[in-house]
Amino acid sequence: MVTGGVDRSARERVVPALLWLIERLARRHEVHVFALHYSPEPCTYPLLGAAIHDVGRVDGPPGLRRLRQRARLTAALGAAGPFDVLHAYSGMPAVVATHVARRAGVPIVVTFDSGEFVAIGDIGYGLQRRWRDRFVIARTLRDATRVTVGTQFMAELAARHGRGTDIVPLGVDPNAFPPATRPPGPPWRLLRVGSLNRVKDYPMLLNAMTRIVREIPEVHLDIVGEDTLDGGVQALARTLDLESHVTFHGVQPTDRLATFYADAHVHVTSSRHEAAGVVVLEAACSGLPTVGTGVGYVADWADDRAVAVPAGDAAALADAVVRLIRDPARRERLASAARAWALEYSADWTAARFEEIYRALAGPRDGRAIPP
């Protein structure tokens, strides 16, 4: 169960890590994916060997919306089932799916991969800000048969809510991001991949960029991601006189991202929160080191596979980037260690690990079991 990210194009408005997981599971199992908040109207279509059941977008007050989504999901599961095990990806579908699974007596895995355990009030982010969201997340933690997260960073946040977790990174397909031979700088190219939204903290990144430019004038930042802030980040870049040093490329399909990773010397992240951060894995597969705020994979990997700085600290980010640009041997060490990790915990590993979890939960049901 997902909110979206499984568009029938398999290219636009998708979550690549989810698609890689779905495709690998569908090679060996009958896989149905239920999208709870994407298409305006219900529809069903094949994708990567799985059947996608979009129950249609449901709007309205949160409580009423969840009731209607439960009803639609219950009906869709009944029509497509029975199922050995259910799996909800992220908080919003999980609060609906755990209720449905409990009533149906089907085990359910919940993967928390967003802001379920944080509250960042000044930007209105996180599901711990309001009592009703805290309540439904607590109930979801209670009702889930098994809980997984992608990083140790996220596992520690979950532990504060009294729930143990399995750490299962959502790995990437290494073939999509082959290692690249980068031209030596200067000029130096930095890359930021991520939607232009408040939690990604682009003001912090651009303020860091002004400091980087003062130290290393021959530097350029490429930004790839959907703009959800109506041009506010671009306006700030103009205000900071960074137009000649920053290019905004908008949304790019996954098969185009490899070129951006291959052309860059340093991958930069600036988020105030990441449960994991799949772009760090994508960069790692291509042999690109990451400097970023200490959240998600960057927190887990510091200091052997990535360079971590405090969230919101533009000066620290700038200093770390400058030092790494000037230290090619360290760039190589970080990139090599990060790539080895990303290859070990690839999309194939993720699918196999989830199969183990599904098998342990499902067992024989009505004479059927998940095959080994």
- Confidence at 372, pLDDT banded by 50, 70, 90: very low
Structure tokens at 227: 């703009």
Burial code (b: 16+ CB inside 10 Å, e: under 16) for 118-147 equals bebeeeebbbbeeeebbebbeebbebbbbb
Q: What is the pLDDT of residues 27-50, one digit of tens each?
A: 999 999 999 988 899 999 999 999
**How far is Cα 264 from Cα 190, in angstroms, rounded to an integer?**
5
Q: What is the DSSP string of 279-347?
A: HHHHHHHTT--EEEESSHHHHHHBTTTBEEE-TT-HHHHHHHHHHHHT-HHHHHHHHHHHHHHHHHT-H
Yes or no: say if 268 and 221 are a contact pair by the CB < 8 Å rule. yes
Q: Is the pLDDT of residue 93 over 70?
A: yes
* Single pTM value for the model: 0.94
Question: Which pLDDT score, from 0 to 100, does residue 255 have?
Answer: 85
Q: How confident is the model at residue 370 (pLDDT cuts 50, 70, 90)?
A: very low
177-199: per-residue pLDDT in tens? 999 988 888 999 999 999 999 99
pLDDT tens by residue, 258-294: 999 999 999 999 999 999 999 999 999 999 999 999 9
Predicted confidence at residue 365, as pLDDT, reads 53
Say yes or no to pLDDT of 348 above 90.
yes
Model confidence at 80, pLDDT cuts 50, 70, 90, reads very high
Return the pLDDT at 185.
Answer: 87
**Cα 59 versus chain centre, distance:** 24
Helices (H), 81-201: 91-104, 131-143, 152-159
Q: Does residue 300 register a pLDDT over 80?
A: yes
The yes-or-no verdict on residue 367 having pLDDT over 70 is no
Task: Give the mean pLDDT of the chain.
Answer: 94
Task: Using pLDDT thresholds of 50, 70 and 90, give the confidence band for residue 219.
Answer: very high
pLDDT of 364 reads 60
Quick check: 111 pLDDT over 80?
A: yes
CA distance 153 to 158: 9
List the domains of the chain with CATH numbers: 16-171+347-362 (3.40.50.2000), 174-344 (3.40.50.2000)
pLDDT for the residue numbered 37 = 85
Q: Please state which of the ranges 11-20, 165-174, 241-250, 263-272 shows the lowest mean pLDDT.
A: 11-20
